Structure 1
Amino acid sequence: MWVCYCDYDGVVHDDAVYWSPRTGIYMRTQGRTLFEWLPILEELLAPYPNVKIVLSTSWVRARSFAFAKSQLTPALQSRVIGATFHNRETEKFLFDNMSRGSQVWADVQRRNPERWFAIDNDEHGWPDLCRDHLIKTDDRLGLSDPLVQHSIRKLLASF
């Protein structure tokens, strides 16, 4: 099994996403929309039907796995096999105090995929042995960055 660990904010849309009780989820960056770069992810993964997705986004912890998954296109939803946060696997306090890289690494150890990579805008706290698996995105460009797209294509072609 091949796994893509996918963050949302700063990857499939701009990083400036917020929540308020009055307005719900909203984006602060003018001209940007939520999940606007999902078609890019679909296109990148299309030639590789065996690549599954594990959600490594705080949306799972903040809302729920079902809610986070439902935000994806049907094609991407069909690839989702889980999330890095599991109520039964990880104590919430412990998970919340782990770096994103540590959260992903813990899931890699649990899931034991044949191959894996992560797309994330947060490179802080990634264990050294995981850094080669991280495709770092820019907060404002995410998957719209041609260099990121090239890196993903190159990595997938090497699988």
Structure 2
Amino acid sequence: MKNENPIAGIGKPAVVLYLDFDGVLHPEDVWHKPGVGAYVRTPAGHSLFEHAELLETLLEPYPTVGIVLSTSWVVTLGYARARSYLPPRLKERVVGATYHSTMNPLEFRNLPRGEQVLGDVTRRRPKKWLAVDDTDDGWPSHFRENVVITDPVDGLSHQQCHSALRARLALAMAPK
């Protein structure tokens, strides 16, 4: 049987995308209510993962780009459950998360997002990496070209954000 998932066949991907959920795939004001689950509180008219299809489209030309979850959902819900919220074409790209259950969750939550991602870059050692996030915390200036900062409400749907991610993906995947 042929494996349709290029990520599964290559082991460690050379290029990874660190992906936040809140403020990227939907507005950042997401709450979790016991018995109900996660929902977008404000602004009205938005839904969870409303920009996931856009991310699928942006990644489509690059089937070997892996995704590392850099979202607080992993700390709150666990890796498997956080990953399960993604649509299948994104879910199959996920190769890990910045947070692991062996880490202290309080210490991890207190680290700026940039430090969380850079810690994983140090451990994972991808050849190239990009991050898409709505927080500007902890990203050293010399790594700014690796990061696309989104608007907390519009997320990836903002024209400037998805254009920047498209350009950075093309650059990261360009042959040397």
Measure, in 2, the Cα distance between the counterparts of 1:9 and 1:76: 16
* Residue 22 of structure 1: how far off its partner (Å): 5.0
Pick the aligned partner of 1:144 from 150, 154, 157: 157
1:37 touches 1:144 (CA, 8 Å); kept in 2? yes
Moved beyond 6 Å, runs of 4+: none
Which moves more between the two structures, 47-56 or 11-20? 11-20
Pick the aligned partner of 2:63 from 20, 36, 49: 49
Read off the aligned partner of 1:105 and give its amino acid letter: L
Which TM-score applies when normalising by structure 1? 0.95
Measure, in 2, the Cα distance between the counterparts of 1:25 and 1:156: 30
Pick the aligned partner of 1:64 from 73, 78, 88: 78
Contiguous gaps of at least 5 residues in structure 1: none
Pick the aligned partner of 1:82 from 90, 96, 101: 96
Measure, in 1, the Cα distance between the counterparts of 2:87 and 2:33: 24
Read off the aligned partner of 1:63 and give its amino acid letter: L
Contiguous gaps of at least 5 residues in structure 2: 1-13
Q: Over aligned residue pairs, what C-alpha RMSD do you find?
A: 1.2
Measure, in 2, the Cα distance between the counterparts of 1:158 and 1:20: 41
Measure, in 2, the Cα distance between the counterparts of 1:156 and 1:25: 30
Measure, in 2, the Cα distance between the counterparts of 1:156 and 1:22: 39
Q: Secondary structure at the match of 2:16?
A: strand
Which TM-score applies when normalising by structure 2? 0.86
* Residue 131 of structure 1: how far off its partner (Å): 2.0
